Amino acid sequence: MNHLPLFFDLAGRPVVVVGEGPAAERRVALVRAAGAEVRQVAAPAPADLAGAVAAFVATGDLARDTAAQAVARAARVPVNVIDRPALCDFILPAIVDRGDVVVAISTGGASPTLAASLRARIEAVLPERVGNLARLAASFRAQVNALVSDPGQRRRLWRRMAEGPVARLVLDGDDAGARRAALGELDAARTETVAPGIVHIVGAGPGDPDLLTLRAVQLLREADVILHDELVPPAVLARARRDAELVSVGKRRGQSQWPQSEINAELVRRARAGETVVRLKAGDPYVFGRGGEEVEALQAAGVAFSVVPGVTAALGCSASAGIPLTHRRVASAVTFVSGHAAEGSPAAAWPALARPGHTLAIYMGAAEAASVRDRLLAAGADPALPVAVIENGTRPDERVSSGRLSDLARLAARHTGPGAGPSLIVVGDVAALAAAEPLPLVKVS
């Protein structure tokens, strides 16, 4: 380590910036944001540096930079000269600014480009509201020190506040809920009771682990237990932390191991036991995922929760198969339909679904393909309307069958039975884009 990283309190203290132009103005804005009293000059005199705690030189001219550096050195003021490491007493790192949380990255001046690249990566994964969490912790520090005397217990409390329900509520933007949860944590630590946990209802996406949201990945790494659908593939579960408990709660057509009421009760029980729980649902929790029912149960039980959306199957699978759900020249509307409800759906709805220029994305519809076909044909849909059946969309074993509406039952039969994966049916002119050579129409009686 060639440079010692330090965070310097500049609030109300004089800092000199030498130079004009964009580089100098960036230094002015930076130190002013840290609360410094800025003195900006074109060429420094000794009087300009009186009482200053630091100087930044950004003239862009070697001779002027060297002269300004000499004046600062003579005044015994630490100096940084932009893009001239040999003239610097200190260097300016690449900075990720999240309010009260600041991350500094330095390569010792060897490669500012590398430092900038690392900053971009950190910015992508560091939550935007993490500074709010630091401010919340600061507001509780005096209370914690006064009420929790044991150092080990204090450390455990701070860790739970930084990694548990309090942190997640802050990062989700619920500052009031986070403060209530922090008071609960403090009271539990003071009385040595178990503080309540939190449930995160998380969308796992259509199957490709790279389509998980950043927040979903963060929560999988924080969870004590993950209650997951049967349809969530091992590649997604592999993103969880190694010691997390994985519990399959079924939720596959015809093979449900857990009634919804039992899943709801288990979420409540785990949270009340102080665990951080992820309820991991295939696709998006609020698109045929029954996430709304689980939220109602958690609200009724007074359990803290958050909902993290996921890439739903209609978006992920259609994109993977090369099908735009809307297309300027082909389709201007799209409707998501559950195939499970096809037989009992009101007849009046199907004429609207069968209209031209309209795309249907039918979930869990392979087993109901004949019923879907018959209802659309009865509602006036063209038998030659293109369709596509996408099995295991976005995954390495994805399979796509394309054809016409009249042949939908035969196409879907290829994607049902033992070992078949989840399927999405797309009905509409856009489905023709799934294959270079659409399958020939097979007329059915």
**Residue 299 CA, distance from chain mean position:** 23
Neighbours of 419 (CB within 10 A): 5
Neighbours of 183 (CB within 10 A): 13
Which residue is it, tokens 């044909």? 377
Rg (CA), the chain: 30
Which residue is it, tokens 């976005």? 394
Please, what is the end-to-end C-alpha distance for the chain in angstroms?
79
> Who contacts 9 (Cβ-Cβ below 8 Å, separation ≥6)?
none
Question: Is residue 229 flagged as an active site residue?
Answer: yes
Q: How far is CA 406 from CA 194, 268, 320, in A?
A: 60, 47, 24
Cα(442)–Cα(445) distance, integer angstroms: 10
Instruction: Enumerate helices (H) and strands (E) in the chain, giving the number of each.
Output: 15, 16
Residue type, 265: A
Residue whose C-alpha is closest to residue 23's, from 56, 66, 71: 56
Q: Is 55 helix (H, G, I), strand (E, B) or coil?
A: strand
Structural contact between residues 6 and 22, judged by C-beta atoms closer than 8 angstroms: no
Q: Which residue is catalytic, options 251, 281, 284, 407?
A: 251
Structural contact between residues 136 and 178, judged by C-beta atoms closer than 8 angstroms: yes
Cα(123)–Cα(102) distance, integer angstroms: 11
DSSP 8-state class, residue 393: T
Rounded to 10 degrees, what is the CA torsion of 281, 284, 286, 292? Answer: 20
Tell me the pairing of strands 54-57 and 14-18. parallel
Question: Is residue 281 flagged as an active site residue?
Answer: no
Residue whose C-alpha is closest to residue 182's, from 304, 306, 308, 269: 304
Q: Which two tokens stand for residue 242?
A: 């190694």
Q: Which residue is catalytic, options 229, 281, 284, 407?
A: 229
Residue type, 192: E
* Active-site residue set: 229, 251
